[in-house]
Copies of this chain bind each other. A is one copy, B any other.
Amino acid sequence: MEVRTVDTRERILDAGERLFMAHGYEGTSMRQITGEAGVNLAAVNYHFGSKESLMQEVFRRRLDWLNEERMRVLDELEAEAAGQPVKPSAIVDAFFGTLLRMAGDENRGGMTFLRLLGRTLTEPSEFIRAFLAHEYQAVMDRYKEALFKALPEVPKAEIVWRFHFMLGATSYAIAGTDALRLVTDWQIEAEDSTDRLDRLVPRLMSFLLGGLRAPLPQF
């Protein structure tokens, strides 16, 4: 009784994750999901209640671990620092590096979930935004505070804005749509895909830290 159930649930979650990533929430139908999962159409409503609840569960399955891990790493950093502020680069790596390193872990969704998350941060549906805001709230508050302490000379409003920009750069990078076809053929040939992913992390980290530590704008 237990085996089949878990199996069906997981198959639905996997299919939903991939299809929501590929076609968006509104652009994915229940019939596509159950078709790809190889389960009956009614299984989604039986196991999850509704399409909206399924979407939330797709995220919860990955985000619970991610945000706990982010909390844990920041705990560690602050314990090591022993009262001193944590280095900005360590905070940025704890938040964004922890996220990006999920890409290599297929058991935690890998690139598929990362791309889904990146796209969903600009998703219009209200219920998704509300859900993500709730799911993230504690983590965002902790990391904002850590950055405030790490950069005491920078106005808090500026830090929040730059956190915002870092989120945007990251989510677009992991969404990986490249809507404007910036990455041309010669670059795709120059590096294979695992290379590109391995190099994305340090590349993005350099960019984020450069932006975070840039001179303040003059108004």
Using a CB–CB cutoff of 8 Å, the interface residues on chain A facing chain B are: 21-24, 26-27, 118-125, 128-129, 132-133, 136-137, 140, 144, 157-158, 160-173, 175, 177-184, 187, 190-191, 199-200, 202-219
Q: Contact: B205 with A217, CB < 8 Å?
A: yes
Please give the distance in Å from A104's CB to the nearest CB on chain B.
Answer: 16
Task: Contacts A208-B211, A217-B203, A217-B205 given; indicate if A122 touches B124 (C-beta within 8 A).
Answer: no
Q: Is the CB of B168 within 8 A of A171?
A: yes
| Contact assessment for B140 and A171 in the assembled complex, using a CB-CB cutoff below 8 Å | no
A119–B167 alpha-carbon span in the complex (Å): 14
Q: Is A129 in contact with B177, judged by CB distance below 8 angstroms?
A: yes
- Give 20 A-B pairs besides A121-B179, A162-B207, A164-B173 with Cβ atoms closer than 8 angstroms: A22-B124, A23-B124, A24-B123, A24-B125, A26-B26, A122-B172, A157-B187, A157-B191, A158-B203, A161-B207, A163-B182, A168-B168, A168-B169, A169-B169, A199-B219, A202-B218, A206-B215, A206-B217, A207-B212, A209-B214
A168 touches B163 (CB 8 A): no
* A209 CB, nearest partner CB in chain B, Å: 6
A55 to B216 CA separation, bound complex (whole angstroms) = 38
Task: For A141, give the chain B residue with the smallest CB separation.
Answer: B184
Q: How far is the CB of A122 from chain B (nearest CB, A)?
A: 5
Q: Could you tell me the distance in whole angstroms from the C-beta of A213 to the nearest C-beta in chain B?
A: 6
CA distance A181 to B139 in the complex (A): 11
Indicate if the CB atoms of A136 and B210 lie closer than 8 Å. no
In angstroms, how far is the closest chain B Cβ from the Cβ of A163? 6
Given A125-B24, A172-B171, A205-B217, check contact A180 B136 (CB 8 Å): yes
**CA of A133 to CA of B178, assembled, Å:** 9
